[in-house]
């Protein structure tokens, strides 16, 4: 058999596979790349703690308006401020706080996916961040994150320090599509210069993900807990140039221990969550992105 025949067979097989995939997937499963536009959204950040003997709970509730400018070619500019509504935390300022203002670009080299971000991230950090994701199979992928950041406080007063720390984690993900279950393990150097490791098991449901996790930090010890991520309706949306909507998700994280400094890392996207992962759905079709999408963009019908 000549090389040309082999090549033709392979190309034919690939074309057939692509055709089958394109025609067999329900329309709503296929990734829908967002058209360029501006999203204005708002949600709530609800925090509560139980650390005092005579007071059961302290609450910290922030309004979290933000924007996402999808610029096309996988560029995004995001921003978000925290507006305190209820503040019973003594060590938390009462001013407006810029939680995110970052420029991001998603890249792909072969099967290696990357997301580079620069700007102000959560946890009062600014700097550069790079995320890498390498799917080796439908069920297994490697991931890494690295950052070089400084401190930028934007509350009742502003203060900034020079970038002074590198941090980074590496790990792997296993996705069991039959059960929509994801196992994730990472280890590395975290934000407060502690070395640690964490493992998480996620079960993805319709519009909701529940996970349990355990983690260890050489400085802050063991911790465990659970997380609940709920994607917020409306699930059918119409895409325009400017879109007003609620925040994409509500995320609840519970920790057994009261020490909150171990295994911490910032978020570079104001709507980043464990269900969606780091990348856009249309960009990386792996893991929970192979499930039916949470948000379906209504297609415009062509008028006769």
By CB under 8 A, name the binding residues for other proteins: 50, 53-56, 179, 181, 203, 205-208, 210, 212, 222, 224, 226, 254, 256
Q: Phi and psi (nearest 5°) for 215?
A: -150, 160
**Least Cβ distance, residue 257 to other proteins (angstroms):** 9
Q: Which is nearer to other proteins, 94 or 206 (CB)?
A: 206
Q: Which is nearer to other proteins, 75 or 254 (CB)?
A: 254
Q: Determine the Cα–Cα distance for residues 286 and 141; give it in Å rounded to an integer.
A: 9
Q: Are strands 242-246 and 236-237 parallel, antiparallel or unpaired?
A: unpaired
Residue with token string 């939680």: 99
**Least Cβ distance, residue 52 to other proteins (angstroms):** 9
- Assess contact for 131 and 143: CB atoms under 8 A: yes
Q: Phi and psi (nearest 5°) for 177?
A: -65, -30
Q: Phi and psi (nearest 5°) for 110?
A: 65, -120
Q: Which two tokens stand for residue 230?
A: 């709920």
Q: Which is nearer to other proteins, 269 or 274 (CB)?
A: 274
**Least Cβ distance, residue 215 to other proteins (angstroms):** 13
**Least Cβ distance, residue 232 to other proteins (angstroms):** 15
Q: Determine the Cα–Cα distance for residues 211 and 213; give it in Å rounded to an integer.
A: 7
- Assess contact for 49 and 58: CB atoms under 8 A: yes
**Least Cβ distance, residue 206 to other proteins (angstroms):** 5
Q: Which is nearer to other proteins, 100 or 211 (CB)?
A: 211
Q: Which is nearer to other proteins, 57 or 158 (CB)?
A: 57
């Amino acid at each position: 058999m000549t090389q040309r025949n082999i090549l033709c067979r392979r190309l034919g097989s690939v074309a057939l596979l692509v055709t089958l995939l394109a025609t067999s997937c329900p329309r709503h499963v296929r990734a829908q790349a967002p058209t360029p536009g501006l999203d204005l959204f708002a949600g709530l950040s609800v925090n509560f703690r139980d650390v005092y003997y005579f007071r059961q709970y302290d609450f910290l509730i922030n309004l979290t308006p933000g924007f996402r400018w999808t610029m096309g070619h996988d560029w995004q500019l995001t921003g978000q401020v925290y507006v305190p509504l209820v503040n019973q935390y003594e060590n938390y300022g009462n001013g407006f706080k810029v939680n995110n203002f970052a420029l991001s670009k998603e890249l792909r080299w072969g099967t290696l996916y990357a997301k580079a971000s620069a700007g102000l991230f959560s946890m009062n950090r600014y700097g550069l961040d790079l995320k890498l994701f390498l799917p080796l199979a439908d069920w297994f992928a490697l991931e890494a994150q690295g950052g070089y950041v400084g401190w930028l406080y934007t509350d009742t007063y502003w203060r900034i320090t020079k970038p002074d720390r590198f941090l980074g984690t590496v790990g792997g993900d296993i996705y069991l599509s039959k059960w929509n279950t994801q196992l994730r393990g990472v280890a590395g150097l975290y934000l407060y210069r502690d070395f640690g490791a964490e493992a998480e098991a996620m079960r993805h449901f319709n519009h909701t993900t529940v996970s349990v996790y355990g983690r260890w930090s050489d400085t802050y010890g063991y911790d465990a807990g659970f997380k609940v991520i709920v994607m917020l309706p409306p699930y059918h949306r119409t895409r325009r140039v400017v879109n007003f909507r609620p925040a994409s998700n509500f995320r609840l994280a519970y920790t057994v221990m009261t020490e909150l400094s171990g295994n911490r890392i910032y978020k570079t996207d104001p709507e980043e969550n464990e269900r969606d992962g780091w990348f856009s759905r249309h960009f990386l079709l792996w893991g929970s992105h192979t499930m039916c999408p949470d948000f379906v963009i209504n297609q415009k019908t062509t008028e006769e």
